[in-house]
A and B are shown apart, each in its own frame.
Chain A
Amino acid sequence: METTEKKTEEEERKESEKEKEKEKAEKEEELSASEIEYVSYGGEHHLPLIMGLVDSELSEPYSIFTYRYFVYLWPQLSFLAFHRGKCVGTVVCKMGEHRNTFRGYIAMLVVIKPYRGRGIATELVTRSIRVMMESGCEEVTLEAEVTNKGALALYGRLGFVRAKRLFRYYLNGVDAFRLKLLFPSPVLQSSLSMLTDSDSGHWHNDHIPIEECSEVH
């Protein structure tokens, strides 16, 4: 599905010359960040808010059934961000068995324009990912438009890799990247620490989790 958080040119320029303004900007961000309230999906009264944000900000049209499918089955994975009572962002997710893997899926992530670049999307999606991790997901996936630099940077910072490119995935004809975030496997972790202890350079890892690679698209 999709993600907003597109970076405007101005924001990108700002980033490149941020050295001097950095401190000041950080203070501002902190100030506004503290005013943002994050809420887990709490029922029908939240649905119109989510639908309104997604309808106005994302390119794909979704039916009401799509929204309900997500928020009713996985209310714990959906979050809303409020600023002084106004809903300014939301994330909608799901999780489930997918070809022998228990994986999370980020369906929609939206932050309205005036509030972008303040870490709200990162906070929203981080909350969802944390719940997925605690629920036993092995990985998290999503799709993002290849042109959406802001979203790609955001997910890159969170550890997502671009697993594949989906040709003309969206209705508007734009390609998508399938992004994946693999959580560390407990087996792998302990093997790694053993490795550090023994300082062996030729350790062969045969505990790589099996993950599907041949999805149809």
Chain B
Amino acid sequence: MIVMKVAFVRDRDRLHPLEIPGEIAKDCVRRRSQEKARALVVGRPASTSRALLVTDGGKADAGKVATGGRKPDGGSAQPLVFLSGDSPVERRKPSFPLLSNQTRRASSSSMDQPVPERSSIPSGENSVWTDISPLLAAACRDLEDGELIHGDNFNLFAAMSALEIMDPKMDSGIVCKYYSVDEAIENGAAPVPISFDKTDDVRCTIDIMDHLLACEEEDLFTMNYGLPLNGNGDDKCLSMLNAVEETSSRQLRAYIEPLQTNLDLEEGYCKALLCRLRFRKHFYHVLVCLRRPQGRGLELARKHIASCISELESVLSSSEFLRSSASLAWEDGLENKTTASGCQPIGFDASLNCRLSAPTPPRAIKILSWKEAVEYFLKLLHDLDILCLYSLEPSLESILNFVVQFQKSQPDLVARAHLQLLLVQDGKIHGRDPVFSIINRAAALPEATKNHDIQKNEFILQLGQLEMAFKKECGENPNMSIEENAWVKIFQHILVWVEEQTYWIASRFLILGFELELYSPSEYSMVYWYLYVVLVKLAEKIHIKTAAANGSGKRRGKKKRDTPKDAAKDYRIPPAVLFLQCQICLAEGLTMMLAALTNEHRILQSRSPFNTEHERFIQHFELLQKASIPDHIAYPSFKASTSYARFSNLLMYNYFKDAQRIAKEVKSSFSNEPEKLAELRRLEQVAEHNSIAMNVICRVGTLDPSLKVSFEFNHHPYFATAVVKRS
């Protein structure tokens, strides 16, 4: 049986009870238990269907509330129970703070005035707390089953944010033993000092250091944000760290009074303490170095990263000593422990933290184990190290490539944030180069553009897209001035460049769907088909751009560096295009193979009672379709290209064989680019496996009903490999 509880807090101002913040709610409970009931909690066991919400100060509200409920005939309830005009709000991640202004005011005003009893919520001027139990009880008696009194702003969000006080699933405060750090110290949960026995004190301090490393949520590591550890700012923190480190290392060398009393343990404790302190110090330096403008601290950051890693290794190896000296026999290892010693750290209570977060239901905060925390930092340091290797080359292509490469190791929020800080500082790339000049170079604009007025136009990109219209207006005009001519030239360059970027982004968008697992196998065919169409366009644009750049006679940019044999080169397809061509063949091959499987073998089909493949196509590619990327491409074009796919045709024109051939040919052009070479190898593997799979299907498939074909991503993150089995 669910017990319905309602809280009402009397205050001058209106306070929606559905948004009663945790603080007040818990305070109500406390007051009740202390029998100082100025605010009330009404529990009505056994009346599951009754609820009473009061939106304002007691009796004043009696006229405002609306009731409604079950029809007398027992039929369905009328919607008038909930006020109309409120658009229901869909559920979102309930992370926003719901503390109303009153609460903030209430808690801040509590500092100003003497508060009788132990209370954090004063009644405020001109108002007093009053017992409204009889009023609520009377109101409850008047309610029928299913009736609800509610405020104007009762919507889904309000409903979902409601707290049911005294329900442990909802009320984070109910499980608390104490309500502040002071109380925890007072009742011995967090004693200060930890122990008068110096050895115990050191042991527990190390546990606390370990636990602090582990106990915060992944994206809330305060260390990673480099937040000041105390109110005096970072300088003080660093000098304190240095001082303590100095003392500890002297203790280790037995120059001064030992760290603790047991001499046998002195070295081990000193070492354990030192590596933890040093890790903290170097980590702090890493963060400071990374924040230096224009990437100037990257080199030094790498040195500190190396130090951090070596200190972390010492931290890891200190575990054995700490476990043995803890004199506790842990049978089950360190799997779920948050300390190197395996001991429970003193003074931590997760439920206390619950009270500090928004008044949502108690959130299960997953605390990393000590091992996981150390691994987390090792991974983070590794990602940051990759970041430090970044070349700072002011080329758009290399920037975009670096971002794509960087993502492959799935760096977490902290590492990604540092990359972003590095890329754009003060509105400039790497804090040095204006974005315009980077684009200028990337789009292979004529040199003269650098000083052209166009720089002043912040809508340059949008203008570029209007180039077609512009051309119609004045492009055909033979009497154009030199100035106008320059504009046309710039726009032509920019248009090609904008299109190239657009198709590149479109291809990334489609690929991201694989990484996020948004596609089901029955949809692969249309996804590969769309990817194929986009890649063809992308290759086309790159080809045009390269041809234009070669034709202009000016040798600029990265592409041209490796062209000693220029004359022959102009007639060749650029390697970048061939590279894409290889992916195009794979995408087309997979499209056709999947389509043939559906057409001939009736597998990978999806028949829905409510819609068709057409609707799923619209849903997956809606964004691209709305932006006409590319033009004149829609579901019927997909059907036209795939509905006649048969394995007999696929054998005649073997896309996978083509992909293999191109991959082999183009390799030599990328001998200096290991990432591209690796990608080519992956593409080659996918092509090879799929080529074989297709032969197998053709040989036995059409006759064999037990043929099972599935698709796996074991050779490439988004080009699938067909796996053929007979069951």
Contacts and interface: CB of A to CB of B under 8 A. Distances in A.
Interface of A: 1, 19, 41-44, 47-48, 51, 55, 60-66, 68-69, 71-73, 75-76, 94, 96-98, 105, 107, 126, 129, 133, 143, 146, 156-159, 161-166, 168-169, 171-173, 177, 180-184, 188, 192, 195, 200-205, 208-211, 213, 216-217
A156 B608 CA distance: 8
Given A65-B18, A213-B622, A159 B615 contact: yes
A157 B159 CA distance: 32
Contact of B79 (A64, A72, A107, A183): A72
Given A42-B76, A61-B361, A177-B518, A188 B614 contact: yes
Given A43-B146, A66-B162, A166-B93, A211 B361 contact: no
Interface string B156-185: 101110111001011000000000000000
A182 B611 CA distance: 7
B238 interface: no
Nearest to A159: B608
29 contacts: A19-B727, A43-B74, A43-B75, A44-B145, A51-B48, A61-B167, A62-B160, A63-B162, A64-B4, A66-B160, A69-B82, A143-B91, A156-B606, A157-B608, A159-B611, A159-B616, A161-B619, A162-B516, A162-B517, A162-B519, A164-B518, A182-B616, A182-B619, A183-B615, A192-B636, A201-B636, A203-B636, A208-B622, A216-B92
Contacts of A202: 632, 636-637, 640
A107 B610 CA distance: 19
Contacts of B608: 157-159, 181
Contact of B518 (A43, A94, A129, A163): A163
Given A105-B90, A201-B637, A63 B622 contact: no
A75 B51 contact: no
Q: When A and B form their complex, which 5 residue pairs have the shortest distance between CB atoms, in order from nearest? A: A159-B608, A65-B159, A201-B640, A63-B162, A75-B76
Contacts of A48: 1-2, 48-49
B517 A165 contact: yes
A162 B145 CA distance: 40
Contacts of A205: 634-636
Contacts of B637: 201-202
A157 B2 contact: no
A211 B618 CA distance: 10
A189 B572 CA distance: 47
B49 A183 contact: no
Given A107-B91, A208-B625, 10 more contacts: A42-B76, A55-B169, A69-B82, A159-B608, A161-B523, A162-B517, A165-B518, A202-B632, A205-B635, A213-B622
Interface string B621-639: 0110110000010111100
Contact of B614 (A71, A166, A171, A192): A192
Interface string B137-156: 00000000110100000111
B518 A162 contact: yes
Contacts of A177: 517-518
Contacts of A163: 518, 619
Contact of B70 (A43, A107, A181): A43
A43 B73 CA distance: 11
A51 B82 contact: no
In this complex, which of B76, B94, B145, B606 has the most chain A Cβ atoms within 10 angstroms of its Cβ? B76
Interface residues of B, number: 73
A53 B151 CA distance: 28
B82 A73 contact: yes
A184 B620 CA distance: 15
Contacts of B75: 43
A112 B156 CA distance: 26
B43 interface: no
Contacts of A19: 727
B88 interface: yes
Interface in B483-526: 516-520, 522-523
B63 interface: no
A213 B518 CA distance: 15
Contacts of A157: 606, 608
Contacts of B520: 156, 161-162
By secondary structure, the A interface counts as mixed
B81 interface: yes
A156 B611 CA distance: 11
B102 interface: no
Interface string B576-590: 000000000000000
A66 B90 CA distance: 11
B60 interface: no
Nearest to B164: A63
A44 B146 contact: yes
Nearest to A51: B2
B391 interface: no
Given A64-B164, A171-B363, A217-B92, A44 B82 contact: no
A63 B160 contact: yes
A195 B636 contact: yes
Contacts of B634: 203-205
B635 A64 contact: no
Contact of B77 (A75, A126, A165): A75
Interface in B333-388: 360-361, 363-364, 366
Nearest to B612: A184
B21 to A, nearest CB: 15
Nearest to A214: B623
A169 B623 CA distance: 23
Contacts of A184: 611-612, 614-615
B76 A63 contact: no
B517 A146 contact: yes
B654 interface: no
B130 interface: no
A72 B609 contact: no
A162 B162 CA distance: 30
A195 B148 CA distance: 54
Nearest to B611: A159
B630 to A, nearest CB: 11
A182 B618 contact: yes
B625 A94 contact: no
A181 B93 contact: no
